[in-house]
């Protein structure tokens, strides 16, 4: 897959997920919503943010780091977009259950940082 194909598919998928998320946001009543409505809400938001942040991260990475290999830039930007989206969706889920406080945010951020350090050290060992 070429970079152009990747960017087209990722952008198209992100736009589609944003449209689906807005449809859920405006047409589903949270008072009457079931578990599948909430799963669809969070899943579409997660996928939309991963797609958008991945394309944005790749564009920034390609603009400011000219010496990086394209495949590596794609994998790093996708991984970091997924982790940042996990952090946001995790915070939203905790907030919806009234469990979001500063120590839970610290634990979420630490989990993401440890996960990123794992991938950084694993990549150097290869």
Q: How many helices (H) and strands (E) does the chain have?
A: 4, 0
- In the predicted model, what is the mean pLDDT of the chain? 92
Chain centre distance of CA 78: 8
pLDDT band at 54 (very low <50, low <70, confident <90, very high): very high
CA–CA distance, 53 with 17 (Å, rounded to integer): 13
Tokens, residue 85: 């989206």
User: Residue 35: which residues within 8 A CB-CB, separation 6 or more?
Assistant: none
Q: What's the rounded mean pLDDT across residues 88-110?
A: 94
Range with the lowest mean pLDDT among 51-60, 66-75, 83-92, 102-111? 66-75
Query: How far, in Å, CA of 53 to CA of 14, rounded?
Result: 9
Locate the domains of the chain by residue range. 3-125
What's the pLDDT tens digit per position in 56-81? 999 998 888 877 788 888 999 999 99
């Amino acid at each position: 897959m070429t970079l152009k194909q990747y960017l087209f598919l990722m952008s198209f998928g992100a736009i589609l997920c944003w449209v689906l998320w807005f449809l859920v946001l405006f047409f589903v009543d949270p008072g009457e919503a079931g578990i599948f409505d909430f799963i669809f809400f969070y899943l579409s938001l997660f996928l939309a943010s991963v797609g958008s942040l991945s394309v944005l991260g790749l564009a920034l990475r390609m603009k400011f780091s000219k010496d990086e290999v394209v495949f590596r830039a794609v994998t790093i930007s996708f991984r970091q977009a997924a982790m940042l989206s996990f952090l946001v969706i995790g915070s939203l889920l905790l907030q919806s259950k009234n469990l979001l406080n500063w120590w839970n945010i610290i634990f979420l951020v630490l989990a993401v940082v440890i996960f990123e350090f794992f991938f950084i050290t694993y990549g150097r060992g290869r």
